[in-house]
Structures are given as C-alpha cells and as structure tokens.
Structure 1
Amino acid sequence: MEFSKIISVSGKPGLFQVISQSKNAIIVESLVDNKRLAVNSTQNVSLLENIAIYTYEEDMPLLNVFKAMSEKTAGAKALSHKESGKKLAAFFAEVLPNYDDERVYTSNIKKVIQWFNLLIEIGFDFAKVEAVSEENKEEEIQ
C-alpha cells in the first residue's frame, strides 16, 4: 500500500485507498472493511500526502508527524482519539513539540491520532515509506 494513494473523504469515516479513476468518480477501497465505493467529484477528498500540520517554523507534512508518532509509540497504536483534549494535546506536544497550538485545534489532533491508529491497525509500516520515496527520487534523477 502506498501512502500517496491514501485519502480521506469528507462525510465518510475512516481512510480509503484509491483503486482507480473513472470519468466522473474515483473508485476507493475502505482500509477498515475493504468495501469499495465510488466517490463522485462533488465530495471533498484529501490526499494524506498533501496534508500538513502548522508549526512555528514551517508546516510539517503529515507523513513526518506519523513517523514521529510511530517512533514515540515504538510502532504500536497511540492513545485513543476519544481521550480528553488535554491528554491529546500533551501527547501531540511530545511528538511535535513546536506545533502551533493556536492554529492546530483539538479536532485536528483527534483526526491525526485516529488516522494514525487506523494505519497501525492495518499494519502500515512508516519506516518503509521513506525508503520507497527515496528509490522513486533516484529513479527520476537517472
């Protein structure tokens, strides 16, 4: 599974993997129950690869945040996204100490932790993502 093909669809719980595209829709498969569905062009879709978290220096790509969370939890699931806002913020501050707490809301933190736990649950290995992208960069250069 490629990180670059994982999306979030507004109004639908969980994450999805892009399978193919048709003229008017994207065919996706749920990472939770492997059910396929068509997402039409009127629905908001976000590639996880394009999402970043505000920090005081520069925006941190979501993949880097996930890698930091994976290192912090030693590849295990993080605390539940249903914990109190203070616990979630404290955990997020340990993972990303320089995040902008005025622009990153508790709802954003909940969503990031929920997505991280879902990816860990299905066996996603964040250490391998960097190796794949490095290989692709080398192939593009040659």
Structure 2
Amino acid sequence: MSLDKILSIAGKPGLYKLVTQTRTGFVAESLLDGKRITVGLRSNVSVLSEIAIYTLEQELPLREVFLRIQVKEKGAKTAVGHKEEKLKLEEYFFEVLPDYDEDRVYASDIKKVIQWYNLLHDNGITDFSEKKGSSEEE
C-alpha cells in the first residue's frame, strides 16, 4: 500500500487507511485498532503522500524522510520513541535530516513523523519508494 491511501485526520489519533469514498465523504480504517469511521468532507484530512518537511533549501516529501529513517534504522523501528524529550527528538531528527529547518519544523512535527513511521512499520507498510506510472501493488 502506498502513502497515497494513508491519511492523518485532525483530532483523531494515529493514521488511517482510506477504505472507500461515499457521497458525503469517505470511510477510513484506523491503523491503531482497525476500527472504521466515516469522515465528512469538512474534516481536516492530510494524505501522507502530500506532506513535506521543510529543509534549508527545499521541502522534502515525507516519504523521502521515511526512506532516510528506514536506511538509518536498517529497516527496523526508530531507536527513539515519539514520547522522548524535545532535545533527544531533535538530535535524532538531525541525524536523519541534517539540513531540516529548525525554525519551521517543531518538536511536535518530529514526534508525528517518528510516531507515523513506527505505526506504518507495525502495519507492514514499509515501501516508501515513489510509484511510477499507474501500476498499483494492491
């Protein structure tokens, strides 16, 4: 499954997998507990493939950041948890992405990236490469 089908919903913990679209929104399944919810069109929803992290030169797509974490951790979960103290999170993120913009990337953003990476890893979603063309693996 690609990051095109993984969602972050404001006000809801964790990540969600897009199941189907409806007339008034869509149905999403939680990666945390597998429960399905209906989400209206007015909800603030972000697709992971559309999220980027600020660096000093450009915005780096989230999948690129996940790839760098994956390389650093040799395919395993992160060495630090998302509930670590701010300084430890920033040191870890600096190892992964040395040129991230410290003024625009907050500790809360780093927590989300680490939490999301580990959640995706737990659910077996570890292919962060960019999909070419219209061929889907699902």
The one-character-per-residue Cα deviations of 1:79-130 (angstroms, maximum 9, x if unpaired) are 100001011000000000000001100011011111011011111123xx42
Structure 1 match to 2:66: 66
Asked if the contact 2:63–2:129 (Cα under 8 Å) also holds between the matched residues in 1, the reply is no
Query: Which one-letter code corresponds to 1:84 in the other structure?
Result: E
Distance 1:4 1:98 in 2: 26
Alpha-carbon shift at residue 31 of structure 1 (Å): 1.1
Alignment of 1:1-142 (within 5 A): 1-78=1-78, 79-126=80-127, 129-130=128-129, 133-134=131-132, 136=133
Measured on the aligned residues, the alpha-carbon RMSD in Å equals 1.3
| Count of residue pairs the alignment pairs up | 134
Distance 1:117 1:68 in 2: 13
Alpha-carbon shift at residue 72 of structure 1 (Å): 0.5
Distance 2:6 2:108 in 1: 20
Distance 1:125 1:106 in 2: 24
Identical-residue share of aligned pairs (%): 46
SS of alignment partner, residue 110 of structure 2: helix
Q: Give the gaps of 5 or more residues in structure 1.
A: none
Distance 1:56 1:10 in 2: 27
SS of alignment partner, residue 65 of structure 2: helix
SS of alignment partner, residue 67 of structure 2: helix
Query: Which one-letter code corresponds to 1:91 in the other structure?
Result: Y
